[in-house]
Structure 1
Amino acid sequence: MNDRQDAYDPYAAQEQQLIGYDPYGRPVYGQAPAQAPAPPYEAYEQPYGYGYEAQAPGQHPYPQAPAAPDHGARDGGYGQEQYAPGAGHGYDTQQARQWIPHQQAPQPLPHHQAPPPAPVPQVPEPRRAAPEGAPSRPAAAEAGAVPEAGRDYRTEMFAFIDQPDEESEDVIDWLAFTESRTERREEARRRGRNRIAALIVVLALFVVGGAGYLWYAGDLPFLDGPGAQKKPAAGGAQKRDMIVVHVLNTKKGGSSTVLLIDNVTTKQGATVLLPNTLTVPGPDGAGRPLAKAVEDGGLGTREALDSVLGTRIGGTWRLDTPFLERLVELVGGVVVDTDTAVPADDQAKTPAVSQGAKQNLTGAMAVAYATYRAQGEPETKQLQRLGTVLYAVLRKIPGDPKAAAVTVDSMGQILDPALNAQNLGALLSRIGEHAKVGAYRTEVLPVKPDGGLADGAAKKTVDDILGGSATAVPGVAPRIGLKDATGDEKAQLAAKAALLNGGYTLVEGGKADKTATVSQISYRDDALRAKAIEVAKTLGLPETAVKKADSPVNADVVVLLGKDYKAS
């Protein structure tokens, strides 16, 4: 494409020389510099053939090198001949241009100039492979026969080959694969560690939560949680705080006795009404009615009740009717469901009380209703009215122990030294809180006409509410219950005297429903067998009379006195 041919003379091809390479590494040829015409001829200067330089006169020509193939030549190249020294330019006769007379000499056609090479980018580009049979770059340069010293080399004349390395790409791909695989393994290990840590945390929370629940419910050994107090325990294992209250009627005479109980274990309150006919041991050991013990000043009454009921009473509160009236006024009155109408008593100066539900009672009205006993009514009726008034008062007691203590102190009553205003106020506030939520009960202690505890019912009340125990308290003389089945009053008195002289605490068991021929001494706990044998010896009864059995009498050892007993 760089070789030009004369359109008029096919043998007059212009000789071109190598001037550089295009951006793709292909040689670019251009027209050689023209020479001045010889004097005898008007012919045009012919370009030199490939591989020759213009010769000065008297110089030997350069060695001829094989010319590069001319794409426009028909015969594969032009013949060349050497000139003698001083001769003009030689030329091939086949290549000489003919001149026709009477015509102007043909003007040489303008040779096609190769476009200027485009600037080569700074980054080398890959060069295409040369066509088969084309001379190599050194051969082409040698064929140009241009002096190297006068050549102007430019950047665009060079091209650089960048051959892709497939093996390096494979290595990069393998490194990327191994790196991604390692990262996936590390990520899997990290996720596994996170799962294990989360599982450990969940298990720890589960264990802690379960232990906390068991602690709260009180199911852990040696650790009692708050919830453990809500579970009822055995009667003797429950913790109870109780006091005995003696209400003395200063206007009409008489007294009433009740027990106020705060069951700390079950969070319940209770009032147990004690009939005045209940027999309790006196200072001399002989039995006497409870009313008589209170009338005599109440000294030792608390201990006597403990011996009969098997309880531990914490204090005695003597509440005369004027102080009861004052207490009702301090709490703002009470609301009571009255079961009967109470007439006014001008002599006693007590107001009338109407019958009906939710009666608003003042202090005086509350005292009149609590102490009222109609003609022919049993004592239990009056005790139940007193219990109703006390329940209404407890519901109005402040829940704050300090405020309750202030209320008690405002009554102006001189209390038992063992039960001061702070202790009494705290107990009343706790019992009052039970009454406000309905966790409260009022019971009458069943007593037989002879003053002894009724079989069955009394035992249930003592065991369930009071927590009385048949087991002797350490350091305290065992309680001996005596039940007369002889039908002889003298024999009963003799047996009482013998037991009191032996240092035992006597519990009145009353009279049996029918007489018995053989005496029997029973105990509930194996630890009391030795005491039961001692009691038998004290009464002069054989050891065969001692047996382990349950008894309706609330005592450590119960003696059923039969006709075989002989007073000494």
Structure 2
Amino acid sequence: MNDQQNPYDPYHPPQPQIVGYDAYGQPVYQQAQQHEQQHQYDPYAQPQQSYGYDQYADTSYAQQGYGYEGYAPGYDTAPQQPAPPDVPEPQPHPEPAPAVAVPEQRRPVPGPERPEPEREYRTEQFSFVEDPDEDSEDVIDWLKFTESRSERREEAKRRGRNRVVALVVVLAVALIGGVGYLWSAGKIPGLSDQETEQGGTASGPQKRDVIVLHLHNTKNKETSTALLVNNATTKQGTTILLPNSLSVANDDGTTTTLAKSVDDDGSTGTREAIGALLGTKITGTWRLDTPYLENLVELVGGVEISTDTEVPGAKKGDAPLVPKGENQTLNGRMAVAYATHRGSGEAEAKQLERFGQVIQGVLRKMSDDPQSATVTVQTLAQILDPSLPDKDLGASLAKLAEHAKVGDYKTALLPVQEDGTLSEQATSSVVKDILGGSVSAPEQGAAVRVGVRNASGNEDATEAARIVLVNGGYAVVDGGRADTESSSQVIYGDAAQKAKAEEVAKTLGLPAGAVEKGTAAANADVTVVLGQDYEVE
């Protein structure tokens, strides 16, 4: 074995050399030993930044080398020996041994063609590991439980609020729908525009649709007249039967009967005369000849009515054309025979009532759809009055059919006196309750309606007063006769009619004191009661 030791042999490091002795005679070793202790490997030290050189090749070792001059304490001169190279103590695996600096030797600098040598350690070899806490899992579980429990509570509250909101919305919709239905049906006391009274009447303004129907018998040329009234406010339908003896006014102010008015004045003149007499607006006229009535009954599939009499056959000995009894089914021919039948010695009112039965039976069988009802009218191929086109007639009949199907339909006879004038009963039961309740305001330019009631005992007084009023531009309504009165009166029911009543009194030559407020006729703006003081010229 060579006596010279290899300074780079890690298993046989060179022995430190004695550079002197201290005051106590102890050897003093070279200071390189101290340098070795100061530069031992620190595993927690941060690696220094490298600029192309090996960070473990400390240049301080190269500066020291073997020519470093060091003195022992207490000695000025001492032989200097080169310091042995630093050799780190062997470290157990896997701790890497610190690099040994070789004096006067530098490691090659990496260049573009020579890759940098692999480092002796990597940063990922070092990690900080915290000791697990045995209570940490319990704390995490408790936090998770608390958070989940809070979330469940919030979710439950949110669902509860959603349910409450949904319930409130449903109740509000139901309440609004119910109130709307009751309001539209007029069943809320105090909130509807009109309060429906017993008997189908209502207080306040009402919406009505009135058409006049003339049934012409092609065999005997007689006419039967009725008013078809649709009250949209009370949702009632009514047929008002008008006797042929009803007194109406002509255009020249003279009076005539309803039957003569139909023959002489036609549909337009008669419609206006009836409207002026009853104080109502009639929208149109429907002329229905008996052959068309027969076709109409066939189109709706026949009618079912309770007949009050037996209609005999065409020839003596034939079976009755219409039997008497409850719920009789009549075809078109039988319905026409029953509607126009008037027995020997019977009043006209009986025949009018049978006519009304047939009309109501037809309405019960007719469709309540306006379009379908219009098709039925068009199928008849009849010539209609220009005032009432087929579309308007179909719509009116459909509304009346709707009332008739549910039992909200009735038939009423307008009562007249022997002379054809209206009685107080007629104005209160028919004109007031069915046709309007009160006289509506006249249209712009329309004549003031004046009812004349004769209480003078002189039959000529009515005609004399009529002529004077017509010449004065008034529309005269015959009010019939009344018990004898000594003084004449001009009565107005509404304060707005007071000025008109005063003008009527001047026209008739009556004193101003004759004008007073009271109950006027339902079909007139002003009512005149002629007393014994009225002078007939």
Bucket of the pairwise TM-score, normalised by the shorter protein: 0.5 to 0.7
**1:544 & 1:200 partners in 2: Cα distance?**
71
Q: Output the TM-score relative to the length of structure 2.
A: 0.66
Aligned to 2:397: 428
**1:220 & 1:434 partners in 2: Cα distance?**
14
Indicate which of 519, 530, 550 corresponds to 2:488: 519
**1:415 & 1:489 partners in 2: Cα distance?**
41
Residue 498 (structure 1) aligned with residue 468 (structure 2): yes
**2:247 & 2:487 partners in 1: Cα distance?**
26
Q: 1:500 offset after TM fit, Å?
A: 1.0
Tell me the alpha carbon deviations over residues 506-554 of structure 1, each in whole angstroms, 9 at most, x when there is no partner.
1110010x11112222222222222222222222223332222224552
More divergent stretch after superposition (495-504 vs 416-425)? 416-425
Indicate which of 244, 249, 254 corresponds to 2:212: 244
Aligned to 1:330: 299
**1:239 & 1:481 partners in 2: Cα distance?**
24
Residue 300 (structure 1) aligned with residue 269 (structure 2): yes
RMSD of Structure 2 on Structure 1 (CA) = 3.7
Residue 483 (structure 1) aligned with residue 453 (structure 2): yes
Task: Give the number of equivalent residue pairs.
Answer: 404
**1:353 & 1:421 partners in 2: Cα distance?**
31
Asked if the contact 2:279–2:522 (Cα under 8 Å) also holds between the matched residues in 1, the reply is no
Aligned to 1:216: 181
Tell me the alpha carbon deviations over residues 276-306 of structure 1, each in whole angstroms, 9 at most, x when there is no partner.
1211111112222111111213341111111
Tell me: CA distance 1:326–1:194, structure 2 relative to 1, closer, same or farther (3 Å): closer
Asked if the contact 2:491–2:516 (Cα under 8 Å) also holds between the matched residues in 1, the reply is yes
Indicate which of 278, 283, 295 corresponds to 2:246: 278
Tell me the alpha carbon deviations over residues 347-384 of structure 1, each in whole angstroms, 9 at most, x when there is no partner.
9x997432222333333332222112122222111100
Indicate which of 154, 158, 163 corresponds to 1:198: 163
**1:193 & 1:331 partners in 2: Cα distance?**
62
Aligned to 1:510: 480
Asked if the contact 1:336–1:357 (Cα under 8 Å) also holds between the matched residues in 2, the reply is yes
Tell me the alpha carbon deviations over residues 125-165 of structure 1, each in whole angstroms, 9 at most, x when there is no partner.
xxxxxxxxxxxxxxxxxxxxxxxxxxxxxxxxxxxxxxx99
**1:220 & 1:283 partners in 2: Cα distance?**
42
Asked if the contact 2:451–2:521 (Cα under 8 Å) also holds between the matched residues in 1, the reply is no
Asked if the contact 2:455–2:481 (Cα under 8 Å) also holds between the matched residues in 1, the reply is yes
What amino acid is aligned across from residue 337 of structure 2 in structure 1?
A
**1:432 & 1:287 partners in 2: Cα distance?**
35
What amino acid is aligned across from residue 211 of structure 1 in structure 2?
I
Asked if the contact 1:311–1:468 (Cα under 8 Å) also holds between the matched residues in 2, the reply is no
**1:544 & 1:181 partners in 2: Cα distance?**
98
Q: 1:173 offset after TM fit, Å?
A: 5.7
**1:230 & 1:424 partners in 2: Cα distance?**
29
Indicate which of 168, 172, 178 corresponds to 1:207: 172
**1:448 & 1:424 partners in 2: Cα distance?**
32
Specify the SS of the correspondent of 1:259. Answer: strand
Asked if the contact 2:450–2:528 (Cα under 8 Å) also holds between the matched residues in 1, the reply is yes
Residue 265 (structure 1) aligned with residue 233 (structure 2): yes
Tell me the alpha carbon deviations over residues 375-396 of structure 1, each in whole angstroms, 9 at most, x when there is no partner.
2222111100111122222233
Tell me the alpha carbon deviations over residues 414-459 of structure 1, each in whole angstroms, 9 at most, x when there is no partner.
1111222232233223322322332211111121222222213542
What amino acid is aligned across from residue 253 of structure 1 in structure 2?
K
Aligned to 1:309: 278
Specify the SS of the correspondent of 2:496. Answer: helix
**1:413 & 1:178 partners in 2: Cα distance?**
91
Q: Larger Cα Rg: Structure 1 or Structure 2?
A: 1
Percent identity between matched residues is 49
What amino acid is aligned across from residue 380 of structure 1 in structure 2?
A
Query: Can you give the 5+ residue segments of structure 1 that lack an aligned partner in the other structure?
Result: 1-163, 222-226
Residue 382 (structure 1) aligned with residue 351 (structure 2): yes
What amino acid is aligned across from residue 509 of structure 1 in structure 2?
G
What amino acid is aligned across from residue 428 of structure 1 in structure 2?
L
Specify the SS of the correspondent of 1:298. Answer: helix
Asked if the contact 2:439–2:525 (Cα under 8 Å) also holds between the matched residues in 1, the reply is yes
Query: Can you give the 5+ residue segments of structure 2 that lack an aligned partner in the other structure?
Result: 1-130, 187-191
Specify the SS of the correspondent of 1:559. Answer: strand
**1:499 & 1:230 partners in 2: Cα distance?**
38
Asked if the contact 2:310–2:324 (Cα under 8 Å) also holds between the matched residues in 1, the reply is yes
Aligned to 2:528: 559
Q: 1:220 offset after TM fit, Å?
A: 12
Asked if the contact 2:452–2:479 (Cα under 8 Å) also holds between the matched residues in 1, the reply is yes
**2:427 & 2:384 partners in 1: Cα distance?**
30
Tell me: CA distance 1:350–1:396, structure 2 relative to 1, closer, same or farther (3 Å): farther
Asked if the contact 1:484–1:562 (Cα under 8 Å) also holds between the matched residues in 2, the reply is yes
**2:461 & 2:143 partners in 1: Cα distance?**
110
Q: 1:255 offset after TM fit, Å?
A: 1.4
Q: Output the TM-score relative to the length of structure 1.
A: 0.63
Tell me the alpha carbon deviations over residues 37-61 of structure 1, each in whole angstroms, 9 at most, x when there is no partner.
xxxxxxxxxxxxxxxxxxxxxxxxx
Asked if the contact 2:280–2:439 (Cα under 8 Å) also holds between the matched residues in 1, the reply is no
**Counterpart mapping for 1:28-43 below 5 A:** none
Tell me: CA distance 1:211–1:335, structure 2 relative to 1, closer, same or farther (3 Å): closer
Aligned to 2:32: none
**1:360 & 1:208 partners in 2: Cα distance?**
47
What amino acid is aligned across from residue 366 of structure 1 in structure 2?
A
Aligned to 1:357: 326
Specify the SS of the correspondent of 1:461. Answer: helix
**1:411 & 1:555 partners in 2: Cα distance?**
38
**1:193 & 1:351 partners in 2: Cα distance?**
81
Q: 1:566 offset after TM fit, Å?
A: 3.1
Aligned to 1:413: 382
Asked if the contact 2:452–2:527 (Cα under 8 Å) also holds between the matched residues in 1, the reply is yes
Specify the SS of the correspondent of 2:343. Answer: coil
Tell me: CA distance 1:412–1:199, structure 2 relative to 1, closer, same or farther (3 Å): closer
Q: 1:169 offset after TM fit, Å?
A: 5.7
Specify the SS of the correspondent of 2:473. Answer: coil
